[in-house]
Amino acid sequence: MSVAELDDPAGESTTPRPAVTRRAQRREQQTARILDAAKKCFVRSGFQGASMQEICNEAGMSPGALYRYFPSKESIIEAISEAQQQQDAEMLSAMLDNPSVIDGFVEASMAHIRKVHEHGTAALFTEVRAEAMRNEMVRTGCERSMHQVRDALRNYFQKALDRGDIRPRVDLDTLLTVMMALGEGLILNDLPSQGVPMEKIETLMRSAAISNLRPRGYEEQKIG
Amino acid sequence: MSVAELDDPAGESTTPRPAVTRRAQRREQQTARILDAAKKCFVRSGFQGASMQEICNEAGMSPGALYRYFPSKESIIEAISEAQQQQDAEMLSAMLDNPSVIDGFVEASMAHIRKVHEHGTAALFTEVRAEAMRNEMVRTGCERSMHQVRDALRNYFQKALDRGDIRPRVDLDTLLTVMMALGEGLILNDLPSQGVPMEKIETLMRSAAISNLRPRGYEEQKIG
DNA sequence: CCAAAAAGAGCGAACGTTCACTCTCGAATT
DNA sequence: AATTCGAGAGTGAACGTTCGCTCTTTTTGG
């Protein structure tokens, strides 16, 4: 009733016209509602610490209703860490089309750090990482999305390497691994929330990138 | 009886001489036994996921016995994360007496990474960080030990700064924060377990340190 | 020096609570 | 009329913790 009133595109609330769509639409809404509530609860209490009752309360829904959308607590955890990682991976890969290797890398990293800070998802990120240590499904998803980011970065760096734009001291695989570890440390610590301004983070991020990638002509301009 | 035989310094097993010591000694042993068992369980199942029964089984002890040593599960969690952080902090501070800033920093970091890898405590480290997001006692302990490391590092860098050995691009506070974030990222990822050899980690660690600290005379020798 | 009393350590069943999850049944939707 | 949805009481299992008890070690009083 209330739902029908809110979003009936043609205004024919009483007549059962839209047929296929309406139920599916509602399902999507409710699913999203549960995921939103669960995300809040998991940030607040952790994956293991949050109870289904807590999630139900947050979603304004009974357990019976909730279990129509997710078969288990674990399936919610999986859905959330999946979405979280997927979203991050996509965003990061999308940003790496800057022709300047240093700028592209630094900007992508900064955008990610900014987003995590703004959405307050640093806690969720940590939680996902901790859960990945023991839950195989979560770990698999985690690894998949990290590979996605890694491949995008590798492709990006490889092209710069072919152009002769960068001269890293180590092989590409090692370079990628350490660069990503660095990024994770920065995200985990959520530096902006500790009062470190973004410009300062960017400065050091850039200097670390320059040191590791050694792009043409940066030695004199930046370090000298 | 068996305990008396094992560690009676004067060999007067039957006479109740050592008086004060014996009980206290036993207490320490048992406490350590519980903490060891708990650590294993927490690595395996997480702080919230591990049950008291699981810890009791691992320690070869009944719940009743265990509760004579710790008043609650939370007190065990606190004791463990306390010890963990304390231990790391002490080790790291102790290593920073190398007169070469770069060598000292890199060696301290590498020693830490190596130790975490060998003891398989990367999972525990992640768990502590996740728990710190919601458990105030754990967070406080976490912050305290990080401040300890931070202060040791600050002192170390400040002295080098006074000598004119390094010329960082940013202020000391920011430098410290980002350096520590980098270190945490490396620990969290437990690179050695992913097949990255220590020498390679060291190479990139060193180049990042050089870039951020900019020690005298390194530009030509290492980068040129 | 030794019996008697007190204190401590350990066990494991049992406590009340909370957990993830299911069932039933009426209301709403198609 | 048929199907889906949702509420909420209810399920057994598992949780952290406690209790009553036995056995051992230490302290005490004569």
Of A130, A177, A194, the CB nearest to B191: A177
Q: What is the pLDDT of residue A20?
A: 56
pLDDT tens-digit series, residues B9-39: 333 333 334 545 678 899 999 999 999 999 9
Chain B residues touching A45 at Cβ < 8 A: 134
Chain A residues touching B133 at Cβ < 8 A: 43, 46, 122-123, 126-127
Burial of A64 (0-12, 13-18, 19+ CB in 10 A): exposed
Task: For residue B22, say whether its CB is under 7 Å from any atom of strand D.
Answer: yes
Structure tokens at B192: 């050695």
Percentages helix, strand, coil for chain B (3-state, rounded to 5) are: 75, 0, 25
Chain A residues touching B169 at Cβ < 8 A: 203-204, 207
Distance separating alpha carbons of residues A196 and B181, to the nearest angstrom: 12
The average pLDDT across A45-53 equals 96
Q: What is the pLDDT of residue A219?
A: 58
Cα dihedral: B133, B138, B140, B141 (round 10): -130
Cβ-proximal residues to A65 (8 Å cutoff; 6+ apart), any chain: A30, A56
Compute the nearest-CA separation of B4 from chain A (Å).
41
Burial of B170 (0-12, 13-18, 19+ CB in 10 A): middle
Distance separating alpha carbons of residues B74 and B135, to the nearest angstrom: 9
Task: For residue B52, say whether its CB is under 7 Å from any atom of strand D.
Answer: yes
Distance separating alpha carbons of residues B67 and B77, to the nearest angstrom: 14
Structure tokens at B221: 């020798």
Distance separating alpha carbons of residues A149 and A171, to the nearest angstrom: 18
Cβ(A110)–Cβ(A214) under 8 Å? no
Q: Residue B187's closest CA among B98, B45, B95, B92?
A: B92
Residue B173 CB neighbours (<10 A): 13
Q: Residue B116's closest CA among B198, B41, B205, B208?
A: B198
Weakest mean pLDDT among A41-55, A147-161, B205-219: B205-219
Distance separating alpha carbons of residues A103 and A166, to the nearest angstrom: 13
Compute the nearest-CA separation of B126 from chain A (Å).
5
Weakest mean pLDDT among A25-34, A161-170, B186-195: B186-195
**Residue B79, pLDDT above cutoff 90:** yes
Report phi then psi at B110, rounded to 5.
Answer: -65, -40
Q: Is A172 on the interface with B (CB under 8 A)?
A: no
Distance separating alpha carbons of residues A90 and B215, to the nearest angstrom: 38
**Residue B210, pLDDT above cutoff 70:** yes
Weakest mean pLDDT among A59-68, A190-199, B72-81: A190-199
Q: What is the mean pLDDT of chain B?
A: 85
**pTM for the complete prediction?**
0.85
Helices (H), B9-135: 20-45, 52-59, 63-66, 73-94, 101-119, 122-132
Higher local confidence (pLDDT), B217 or B114: B114
Cβ(A184)–Cβ(A174) under 8 Å? no
**Residue B2, pLDDT above cutoff 50:** no
pLDDT grade for A44, boundaries at 50, 70 and 90: very high
The average pLDDT across A175-191 equals 87
The average pLDDT across A5-31 equals 60
